[in-house]
């Protein structure tokens, strides 16, 4: 509450001095806060620079690791996938894709989702054999199929086209024990 005091009295001088002291105290407090904020901003700037450098280093390390994995030769499967047909759902919308003769035909929503996986560097790792396939839409058919399957929220149907057996003997089949 402000009260008007006549300029000639001692109350007026006391009030002006109190207001001056309050203004000086507020200015000192604001200067301290500004100083703290400036130090904090400088620390954030330095942290951002460190994070940028660390991120660049990590990207290089990840790229080198992927290149090393790509150079390791895993035994190729005897029968390579030559084509496939996929039907599924992406965000509740029916989608389909077909790989035949090295060409992919794919619905746009499925392609967009699959490209996101490719851009994120998704990898498919076989735990039982040291093999890793990177997500792709233009690589080996098995990697393309895995990418599209992962891109679907739900797979409704998946058909595989394998080469016809030739002179090479078929791979031994595994039989599961009968349930009792």
Helical spans, DSSP H, in the chain: 10-71, 108-120, 141-151
Given this model, what pLDDT does residue 26 score?
93
What spatial distance separates the first Cα and last Cα of the chain, rounded to whole Å? 92
Given this model, what pLDDT does residue 140 score?
86
Given this model, what pLDDT does residue 65 score?
76
DSSP 29: H
Given this model, what pLDDT does residue 107 score?
96
Residue found under tokens 């992962």: 150
Domain boundaries, the chain: 9-71, 83-161
pLDDT tens string 122-149: 988 877 666 788 899 988 888 999 999 9
Give residues with Cβ within 8 angstroms of 75, minimum separation 6. 129
* Residues of the chain under the 70 pLDDT cut: 1-9, 69-79, 128-130, 165-180
Q: Apex CA 56: angle with CA 50 and CA 60, to 5°?
A: 145
- Residue 176 CA from chain centroid, whole number: 39
Given this model, what pLDDT does residue 168 score?
54
Q: Hey, CA dihedral for 45, 51, 57, 60, is it positive or negative?
A: negative
Pairing of β 154-161 and β 123-126: unpaired
């Amino acid at each position: 509450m402000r009260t008007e005091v006549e300029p000639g009295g001692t109350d007026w001088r006391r009030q002006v001095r109190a207001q001056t002291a309050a203004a000086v105290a507020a200015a000192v407090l604001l200067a301290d806060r500004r100083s703290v904020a400036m130090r904090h901003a400088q620390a954030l700037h330095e942290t951002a620079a460190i994070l940028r450098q660390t991120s660049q280093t990590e990207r290089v390390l990840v790229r080198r690791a992927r290149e090393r994995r790509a150079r390791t030769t895993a035994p190729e499967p005897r029968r390579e996938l030559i084509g496939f047909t996929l039907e599924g759902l992406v965000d509740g919308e029916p989608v389909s894709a077909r790989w035949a003769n090295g060409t992919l035909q794919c619905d746009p929503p499925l392609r967009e989702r699959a490209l996101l996986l490719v851009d994120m560097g998704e990898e498919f790792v076989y735990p039982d054999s040291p093999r890793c396939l990177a997500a792709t839409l233009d690589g080996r058919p098995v990697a393309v199929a895995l990418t599209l399957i992962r891109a679907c929220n739900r797979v409704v149907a998946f058909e595989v086209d394998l080469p016809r057996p030739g002179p090479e003997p078929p791979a031994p089949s595994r039989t599961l024990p009968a349930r009792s």
